[in-house]
Structure 1
Amino acid sequence: MSNRTGLLSPGGRAVVITGASSGLGKATALHLARVGFHVFAGVRRQEDAERLSAASTGRLTPVILDVTDEKSVQEAVGAVTEHIAEAGLWGLVNNAGIAVTAPLECVAPELLRRQLETNVVGQLAVIQGFLPLLRARGGRVVNVTSGVGNVAIPYLGAYAAAQFAKEALSDALRRELGPQGIAVSVVQPGAIMTPIWDKMSTEGNSTIEGVAEPVQELYRGPFLRFLETNENAARTSRKTPDDVALAVFRALVAKSPKTRYGVGRDATGGRLLARLLPDRAIDRVFGGIVTPTH
């Protein structure tokens, strides 16, 4: 059913969103419930579920879901299946993720594995789990990535690797699932102020302090300057989590959804940068980030 704007109506449609306890995921879950979707909001802890339920003004059902835990994913799929029975699932919004921030020389293998398990491996496990429900409804997958999925920025190499991989998964899934009637879109937020920035700063400092002193000396100044500049960009951004929620909404209700929705000039600009400039020119753009100051 379509409304007078030509968009599909959210009424009677169920959506699952991961990483809904805070930030972009929380804002998106609350918005989707408010406009009429029945939202199954994935959170990792019961206290997060209770807070989210209290904040909701629509049909929102919290679901305990840790994307890095196969048993948790299976149980979440079972719980959603019980709720919607044969009606099927209209949307799956893969938003859960972390952002490892550190020079790659300082990123321990276990930290890189955690980054990839959360943002890539876990995302695919969730998609695989919910595909039968999506197929039953002719539903949609919306993968939330980042502007860093276009251009690899210094000190965000691990995060960029995960986002590039998620972009690749999205492209392959779109081509594989399209003939089955399942659309796949990507939402690429730029720098937007959420609690993730405090985590990035705290964990980034901790990571660099965990390596040998000579290595710390190589990176400390530029890296700390990068953290400050990055956080300031998020604080002064004109975009908010609600803008991301709106982009996800559009991907879910458009009759012919776009393959990608950029949110913020830095996200859309990064995509143009990657397409138009040669590698060496992009290297020069980021040269100031890694140059020590004396």
Structure 2
Amino acid sequence: MRSVVITGTSTGIGFGTAKVLLDRGFRVFGSVRKAVDAERLKQQFGSNFTPLIFDVTDEAAVHAAAGDVRAALGGETLAGLVNNAGIAVSGPLLELTADEFRKQMDVNVLGPVISTQAFAPLLGADGSLKGAPGRIVMIGSVAGQNGNPLLSPYSTSKHAIEGLSESLRREFMLFGIDVIIIGPGVVKTPIWDKAEEIDIARYNNSPFLPALERLRAFMLRLSKDGLPPEQIGELVHHVLTAPRPKVRYAVSPEPVQLLLAKILPKRLLDGIIAKRLGLLPAKGG
């Protein structure tokens, strides 16, 4: 039985991916941060799911979990690592604290770095293990190739994942470990439900207030109109099992908009986005 580690399986893409891979006969080790989620997922998913309780930014806890997975594998390699856990920090850059930006980078960038360092030996960097080398799937975003205003921390973190993945793919050729990026567009995931938690009152005197209110409404629509997480799970399954997967996959419920973002001149796209959010300067009268 092939085994895979998925970070952030309590909800969203991680949950949907775990469900799909379990249905396809994989054994899944899924990370959660709370014991209550670990128990819930064990009951929902059954005996082929093993919860790992850690925060991806806690290096000691992640490496301890990797030790548990090594013991469970009994000398075999891991088939895959899906670096999925993430958060989205929103707000205008001029009014965010350095700590808020740092938290975004810690979870979305340093988290995958820590997880990769911990689990790469099990994927085949440790030559003493038996079995074919595994693959690393990085869950990126369309925001990794296009910057979103008022979500600059999130966009920055996903751009970083693109560069990290490119570098690791070439480094890990030494071990036969492939690194593939999946950059989804809008997905029905609770990460966007947190738009309700944006403290609009904090920005009452901010010139960005109208744009933030539009952004919050847009983010709340995302949580209802996006792709089902299981569709990303199906793509992860393809990436883990295809003989020669592509290095990057993009999937979106609005492929036309994805195409336009690639082909439109940047200045034109800037104007469209700014008009939509109300970020154009006021005209003098």
Scaled by the length of structure 1, the TM-score of the pair is 0.87
1:50-89 equivalent positions in 2, closer than 5 A: 50-57=39-46, 59-89=48-78
User: 2:156 — aligned with what?
Assistant: 161
CA contact (8 A) 1:147 1:267 kept: no
Runs ≥4 residues deviating over 2 A = 208-211, 265-270, 272-279
Q: Map Cα deviations across residues 57-84 of structure 1 (whole Å, 9 max, x no partner).
A: 5611111121111111111111101100
Q: Map Cα deviations across residues 84-134 of structure 1 (whole Å, 9 max, x no partner).
A: 021011100000000011111222111111000000011101101111110
CA contact (8 A) 1:28 1:245 kept: yes
CA contact (8 A) 2:195 2:220 kept: no
CA contact (8 A) 1:144 1:186 kept: yes
Match 2:264 to one of 268, 277, 285:
277
1:81-160 equivalent positions in 2, closer than 5 A: 81-135=70-124, 136=129, 137-160=132-155
CA contact (8 A) 1:148 1:267 kept: no
Residues 32 and 232 of structure 1, relative CA distance in 2, 3 Å threshold: same
Q: Secondary structure at the match of 2:205?
A: helix
For 1:106, the aligned partner's letter is E
Match 1:246 to one of 218, 234, 248:
234
CA contact (8 A) 1:243 1:263 kept: no
Q: 2:85 & 2:165 partners in 1: Cα distance?
A: 15
User: 1:209 — aligned with what?
Assistant: 201
Residues 198 and 265 of structure 1, relative CA distance in 2, 3 Å threshold: closer
Match 1:182 to one of 177, 188, 209:
177
Q: Please state how far the C-alpha of 1:274 moved relative to its aligned partner.
A: 5.2
CA contact (8 A) 1:17 1:40 kept: yes
CA contact (8 A) 2:214 2:277 kept: no
Match 1:288 to one of 268, 275, 280:
275
1:225-264 equivalent positions in 2, closer than 5 A: 225-237=214-226, 239-264=227-252
Q: 1:65 & 1:48 partners in 2: Cα distance?
A: 12
Q: 2:180 & 2:135 partners in 1: Cα distance?
A: 8
Residues 30 and 58 of structure 1, relative CA distance in 2, 3 Å threshold: farther
Match 2:37 to one of 48, 71, 74:
48
Q: Map Cα deviations across residues 234-283 of structure 1 (whole Å, 9 max, x no partner).
A: 4223x21111111111111111111112221447844x445433321221
**Structure 1: gaps (5+ residues):** 1-11
Q: Please state how far the C-alpha of 1:26 moved relative to its aligned partner.
A: 0.9
Identity of aligned residues (%): 37
**Structure 2: gaps (5+ residues):** none
CA contact (8 A) 2:192 2:222 kept: no
CA contact (8 A) 1:192 1:240 kept: yes
Q: Secondary structure at the match of 1:186?
A: strand
User: 2:209 — aligned with what?
Assistant: 220
Q: Secondary structure at the match of 2:74?
A: helix
CA contact (8 A) 1:147 1:268 kept: no
Scaled by the length of structure 2, the TM-score of the pair is 0.90
Q: Identify which range, 247-256 or 99-108, moves more after superposition.
A: 99-108
CA contact (8 A) 2:190 2:223 kept: no
Q: Secondary structure at the match of 1:86?
A: coil
User: 1:6 — aligned with what?
Assistant: none
Q: Secondary structure at the match of 1:87?
A: coil
